[in-house]
Structure 1
């Protein structure tokens, strides 16, 4: 995610923290040196075939930071969302089909859904079911049995409203979930949760699912979502766009927007198709969005082949940015539309999107690596060694840690603060100096390649790094991620 400036930081830090996702990439060996990372040795190959839901099977778990959101009894496999937006009335009508696996026996199906929207119909495997919504909790009265698969159908309508965000950041002030602009366009931002404001969902990171979207809105507006645009029609004065996401995504990585958009097709050197979706009355590639192909090129040299079928940038009327899977959501601000942010958000597709933290205590796995890659890119652009960039960041990192807690044990009311970005970025530089470039870049490439479309927690990640490097690193990671004070740097 792109990090917005907070009131607690100085003006100088605001320039660095203005987006949670700005990403800078630097020659791994610093300017003037030629020994970069080796060519990729493996690439993800877990893309689901049509109709294959096995790729979306998860080992779900209750979240340790936000345990009231999500439920491990549900393993969502596929969401089919048919959404109709009426901008004159700010009215959303939804038809949802959720295919899921039960992970245990229970008398009812627990999901996250906001009572702001009225449900008119629920059925399970074709049989009508009663239900109850309280706050953000939906309970469907239908027994489920462990390892059995079910199809839940819902119809609902109303005006969605954002939910309060567990964060002090200014760019979270509007809340999380479904947002409506003064022009009645819409966009979504739902990290660490908030998808429940517009569809019934198991809204936790450990549960990744496949998605299909059918988005209807009065023409000439259109609907944009994750994945590949499979059809686009205009009938009866309405635009209908269908999108297919072939790789499983956590709910916080889903995006849907309705608005008056134009789109531009680009392509990376390796052939990754790229779309830029932006305001129909503005520039086709606003800010530095045309840098997207170069961002993918640079990251592929470091991390290996891009792990998804497509990449895109969706520009909306907000102040932040989010690494929504295959279709990055960017606020319409100079910083959010900068090359640095584009690199950062693209880097998340390896770290955060294809491999996702199973628990929000491990969001550092996403942001620390994306921030380190951002630092590499920035150092390269500035013509300085990466070590110098890390020295600059080390000057303010202790204050961020003190304000919001250690990166791996942060204050739950301060989600997304600078502590989860800069401390882990410094940690990666320390690990690089400890194990050397060859093994370090092997770690960077092989983790997302070997765990494509999966989730993991800190213990699994650290164990894998120790096995890969042959180093005992538990105390090293504990100090950097759980320590109240910043460890001494080498």
Structure 2
């Protein structure tokens, strides 16, 4: 997790050299060899995604300056990354897919760098001591290319649209548009300065820090997410949008944005997002961020993603259940984030169960009825063969992670009773606010709050490849 101190970054000064970057490829790395020290690992330590993230440092803040031409699908950009060395470093890696790198510096001194696949290796002029705070600045340019992975979300990352870009990055698509420690184990704060052709709107996480500035046929939007965020939740979605802004009934800033092709969705998206955010605040505890809302873009992704403060809906008008799901993630997945992808049910099971709770709140269906409907599936149904407590890297978003994960929570609710269950959920959200969570931590807290031994219940629902008996 990134440092808790607030960091101010001058993004305007960051790219004074951007216009001087070569347009025909990366500047050749210098030939200097690293001095004595230790190399940061090319992965953060997640065995299921061995090259995602990087070892040796912890990012506190990303300052991103992006200038995108949708017509040419070309991005000129710079990143200023403030971090702290967690070991002595003679070199360290960042995740970056594609692009020509124009230059790299560490603490204002030119650094050597090299590329290998999606790894950008940076060699500072002097090794960094353990505990040292440092800033690495990188200029880069090119045409962002999304990741196409049929085993997970399909197409994700920076996705060009007819008028801009739809940017959704789970699980590891942040590297398609900025150099990053691209794994949920490392949270950081973000500042975005996004320049687009006049007439377009650029949307990012958090809140605008000032009025958009227009000059020379371009408009620049500056956004700040002051709360810790994992990289896959970052967005810089841009294009033509119709906006509605205001506050929820409890006073939380609310912004809804829709592509003109979905203008009929705007009022519903705004209203339901506000109602859901306020209701979840009463069920899960105080809303963890400073704004809420949602964005509907015209890319037919066929899925939604819980981008922090601005869930993204790809090419469809979301119903109340989907909005309830994505906004529940603001607590479970965004404020409370997994350390390793194998625990993904802590995100998706909770958000799916929130859909059932929303139906209860609306008087449409009881969670027990939804549970019973799924439990009636035969023992040969694939959902029982996939234990959701151990998400598989080639099938992260399997239905079991969502549905059987939600069923685990309902089985727990039935076992310990409503008073203990809802106290547990609030305690869980409060104790790990802006932090990281694991399944053993949740089991331990459930046992503490309920005063019951629950290892058999969790084992049956999360880890056995069969339908639990007696439910």
Please, what TM-score do these two structures have when normalized by structure 1? 0.83
**1:94 is matched with which residue: 45, 66, 77?**
77
Q: Deviations over 1:404-445 (max 9, x none)?
A: x21122332112110101111111111111111111000111
User: Which residue number in structure 1 is paired with residue 183 of structure 2?
Assistant: 204
1:298/1:400 CA distance change after superposition, 3 Å: farther
Q: Is the 8 A contact 1:70 1:112 kept in 2?
A: yes
Q: Is the 8 A contact 1:163 1:194 kept in 2?
A: yes
In structure 2, what is the Cα distance between the partners aligned to 1:396 and 1:379? 22
What is the alpha-carbon root mean square deviation over aligned residues? 2.2
For these two proteins, the number of residue pairs brought into alignment is: 430
Q: CA deviation at 1:284?
A: 6.5
Q: Is the 8 A contact 2:3 2:59 kept in 1?
A: no
User: Which residue number in structure 2 is paired with residue 466 of structure 1?
Assistant: 447
Q: Is the 8 A contact 2:196 2:202 kept in 1?
A: yes
Q: Is the 8 A contact 1:95 1:154 kept in 2?
A: yes
**1:228 is matched with which residue: 202, 207, 215?**
207
Q: Deviations over 1:211-264 (max 9, x none)?
A: 000000111112110001112121221111000001010011111112112211
Q: Is the 8 A contact 1:48 1:246 kept in 2?
A: no
In structure 2, what is the Cα distance between the partners aligned to 1:477 and 1:144? 44
Q: Deviations over 1:355-392 (max 9, x none)?
A: 10111000100111111110122244464332111111
In structure 1, what is the Cα distance between the partners aligned to 2:262 and 2:396? 33
1:67/1:98 CA distance change after superposition, 3 Å: same
1:372 counterpart = 2:353: yes
User: Which residue number in structure 1 is paired with residue 7 of structure 2?
Assistant: 51
Q: CA deviation at 1:281?
A: 6.0
User: Which residue number in structure 2 is paired with residue 4 of structure 1?
Assistant: none
Q: Secondary structure at the match of 1:371?
A: helix
**2:134 is matched with which residue: 134, 138, 150?**
150
1:251 counterpart = 2:231: yes
User: Which residue number in structure 2 is paired with residue 162 of structure 1?
Assistant: 146
1:300-319 alignment, distance < 5 Å: 300-316=281-297, 317=299, 318-319=301-302
Which segments of 5 or more consecutive residues in structure 2 lack a partner in the other structure? 10-42
1:394 counterpart = 2:375: yes
Larger relative contact order (C-alpha < 8 A, sep ≥ 6)? 1
In structure 2, what is the Cα distance between the partners aligned to 1:322 and 1:97? 26
In structure 1, what is the Cα distance between the partners aligned to 2:64 and 2:378? 42
Which segments of 5 or more consecutive residues in structure 1 lack a partner in the other structure? 1-45, 54-59
User: Which residue number in structure 1 is paired with residue 407 of structure 2?
Assistant: 426
1:397/1:71 CA distance change after superposition, 3 Å: farther
In structure 1, what is the Cα distance between the partners aligned to 2:458 and 2:431? 21
Q: CA deviation at 1:466?
A: 2.1
1:248/1:133 CA distance change after superposition, 3 Å: same
User: Which residue number in structure 2 is paired with residue 29 of structure 1?
Assistant: none
In structure 2, what is the Cα distance between the partners aligned to 1:395 and 1:193? 35
1:415 counterpart = 2:382: no
Q: Is the 8 A contact 1:49 1:246 kept in 2?
A: no
1:234/1:76 CA distance change after superposition, 3 Å: same
In structure 2, what is the Cα distance between the partners aligned to 1:384 and 1:261? 35
Q: CA deviation at 1:47?
A: 12
Q: Deviations over 1:167-223 (max 9, x none)?
A: 535xx33x2211012x14101121111111111001111100000000001111121
User: Which residue number in structure 2 is paired with residue 121 of structure 1?
Assistant: 103
1:482/1:328 CA distance change after superposition, 3 Å: same
Q: Is the 8 A contact 2:240 2:260 kept in 1?
A: yes
Q: Secondary structure at the match of 1:164?
A: strand
Q: Is the 8 A contact 1:397 1:422 kept in 2?
A: no
1:263/1:427 CA distance change after superposition, 3 Å: same
1:283/1:473 CA distance change after superposition, 3 Å: same
**2:174 is matched with which residue: 169, 176, 195?**
195
In structure 2, what is the Cα distance between the partners aligned to 1:455 and 1:73? 18
1:450 counterpart = 2:450: no
1:62/1:430 CA distance change after superposition, 3 Å: same
In structure 2, what is the Cα distance between the partners aligned to 1:284 and 1:235? 32
